[in-house]
Structure 1
Amino acid sequence: MKTTFAMPAALVLGALLAAGPAWSAEGAATAKEAEAMVKKGVAFIKANGKDKGYAAINDKSNAQFHDRDLYLAVHQLDGRAVAHGTNEKMVGKMVIDLKDTDGKEYIKERVEWAKTKGSFWTDYKFLNPVSKKVEPKTAYCERLDDTVVCGGIYK
């Protein structure tokens, strides 16, 4: 007698959804989600202090600040990276002169805008951690004391 096992589709879908942000039926993050994550990051840093806040943002396993292709980055107003959700090698480095593939100094733009605006959106190109390709991106940023906290979405 041949025995077969068929897993119900709902069970398979449930298992995939439970797997977390690596797979999502929702696709890429939205502008609304980026704005919400930045606000959550700002509130977390205010409530827990910079050290704990930056550590949480740097921790790739922290789903609070990492969702699909959405993560946070924090820069001081002099252009030094203090937290980065996908590249911990940037933390502590002066990145004010970084340019995207079109030559845009996007960090310089962020810190300059942060000096005069409480919040803003900025466009540039960056490596998508999901597709592994350089893609157009827009980031929502908020100033927090002597830093700017940003979370971006790929267009």
Structure 2
Amino acid sequence: MKQWLKAVLMCFVALAMQLPVQAQEKRTPEEAVAMVKKAVAYYKEVGREKALAEFNNPKGKFVDGELYIFSYDMKGVNLASPNPKIVGRNMIDVKDVNGKPTVRSYLEVANTKGQGWVDFVWPHPITGALQQKTAYIEKVDDILVACGIYK
């Protein structure tokens, strides 16, 4: 009996190891807006320097699975990103695969409306597949704070 149970358990383990990693549940627009509102409140509470340090902390309070805060100044310089290689770089000319100027679109929303959504196509960080994405943008002082979700 013990051998049979052991064999069954080994089969389940082997099958489980062959299953692809399940994608996380889709995040909602409401979650993205809430993350930005939380980040803006934190920015106003602790100031720019501390807030940006926390936004750039990969294990910080502004990273929740696929949700994370990113930030730009009004010239297109990245101030916060899950990709540390782009922090401090001017990304004004970055375009999605369809040629849409994503950073310029963020700045346009920030400067004309103060807050709003920008749609674009972006590679999914886990699968690498191109997917529709939307980012909620909010301007605070002379920067924008944003969070995106895959559609």
* Structure-2-length-normalised TM-score: 0.82
Instruction: Tell me the residue number matched to 1:120.
Output: 116
Residue 72 of structure 1 contacts residue 150 of structure 1 at CA under 8 Å; is this kept in 2? yes
Instruction: Tell me the residue number matched to 2:80.
Output: 83
Distance 1:24 1:110, change over 3 A: same
**C-alpha distance in 2 between matches for 1:132 and 1:51:** 32
Distance 1:107 1:123, change over 3 A: same
Which of 123, 135, 140 is the aligned partner of 2:131?
135
Instruction: Tell me the residue number matched to 2:68.
Output: 71
Q: Secondary structure at the match of 1:149?
A: strand
> Shift of the alpha carbon at 1:94?
0.4
> Shift of the alpha carbon at 1:134?
2.4
Which of 70, 78, 97 is the aligned partner of 2:93?
97
Are residue 34 (structure 1) and residue 15 (structure 2) matched? no
Distance 1:35 1:146, change over 3 A: same
Residue 71 of structure 2 contacts residue 146 of structure 2 at CA under 8 Å; is this kept in 1? yes
**C-alpha distance in 1 between matches for 2:109 and 2:149:** 19
Distance 1:134 1:35, change over 3 A: same
Report the count of equivalent residues: 136
Instruction: Tell me the residue number matched to 2:140.
Output: 144
**C-alpha distance in 1 between matches for 2:150 and 2:23:** 17
**C-alpha distance in 2 between matches for 1:2 and 1:101:** 56
**C-alpha distance in 1 between matches for 2:43 and 2:86:** 19
* Structure-1-length-normalised TM-score: 0.80
Residue 122 of structure 2 contacts residue 130 of structure 2 at CA under 8 Å; is this kept in 1? yes
Residue 135 of structure 2 contacts residue 148 of structure 2 at CA under 8 Å; is this kept in 1? yes
Identity of aligned residues (%): 40
